[in-house]
Amino acid sequence: MKLRKNAEIIDLLKTFVRLGIAVGSAVTIPSLTLLPSTLAKPEVQHRSIFISNNDTVNFVIQPQFNEVGDFSGGFAPVRIGSKWGFINKNGQFTIKPQFDFAGNFSEGLAAVTIDNKSGFINNQGQVVIKPQFDEVRKFSEGLAAVSVQGIAGLSANGKYGYINKQGRFIIKPLFGAAGDFSEGLAPVRVIGKSYGYINKNDQMVIKPQFYDAYSFHEGLASVRRGYINKKGQIVIKVGSYTNSFSEGLAAVQTGDKWGYINKQSQFVIKHQFDAAADFSEGLAAVQINSKIGYINKRGFVIITPQFNSAGDFTEGLAAVQTGDKWGYIRNPLRDFQ
């Protein structure tokens, strides 16, 4: 997910995230990228436990890549120069750089782009669904959203449908935009209408009515200025932008600051950050002034803000950017378990 303070930019980037398109490239890079801020430093409780003597983290994989994704199944997509490949947790290439773009592995498959068309490979680097689509999302619950006839949402002819792991359409490409299946439902935009939710039988379970709609997590889905249940009812109302629930908490914006609420709509971490991402493995990336670090679910700073960009922790590692290069750090909480 990519976030910005400016409301219009957030709107645009949320649209890109929903469509599976990254700003600056044609594939979503699941990392938090935040603009510098000149706001005063918030009153944050500090408990940094993952720093060396010079106040910088110890990299498991040194910063050396131009772009990166998350680890999944022991592999992560990385870009060196103009090509993408996949590395293991030792930083060694297991699939050499050869793709124009590459996404994270999910359910054993990863999206790749060759000559402006996208398909899927397995973890041996073998093409299992040939590049033939204009845009693809990851596999989730056995299905992946793909677009044909242009990039959906950015082209008048673009349409999204869902394929299975054999590359066959299970849900016909009729939607203007589509998100991942999660908890049995997926957000879709009916062309000429708003967003609703379908099930895997292509039945519209929640009628189109939302300006924005995102996948369900922990029983709730983020829509414009609130959260809905699986009946489509608004159960939490908020005044501004929201992230999905993860590990019981969700980042929401109040004024120009971000904090975290629980499912009772109570702020458990006060709105004090310039931007905030989802929790994963007990930590969430937040921006404090111009740098990004990580907090725990009590709001303590666990990794000192020092990065230009940062992603979620997956499989014990998180991608972070220092200077113009990306590397990976380990989750310090695992050292205390």
Question: Tens digits of per-residue pLDDT, 14-70?
Answer: 333 333 333 222 222 233 333 222 222 233 443 434 433 345 578 999 999 999 999
Per residue in 161-216, pLDDT tens?
Answer: 999 999 999 999 999 999 999 999 999 999 888 999 999 999 999 999 999 999 99
Q: How far, in whole angstroms, is CA 289 from its chain's centroid?
A: 22
Q: What percent of the chain has pLDDT over 70?
A: 81
Q: Is the pTM of this model over 0.75?
A: yes
Q: Which of 163, 158, 172, 168 is nearest to 139 (CA)?
A: 163
pLDDT band at 156 (very low <50, low <70, confident <90, very high): low
Per-residue pLDDT at 280: 98
Beta strands in 141-254 (DSSP E): 143-148, 159-163, 169-178, 186-190, 195-198, 204-210, 213-217, 220-223, 226-228, 234-237, 250-254
Per-residue pLDDT at 336: 55
Per-residue pLDDT at 335: 67
Residue 227 exposed, middle or buried by CB count within 10 Å (0-12, 13-18, 19+): buried
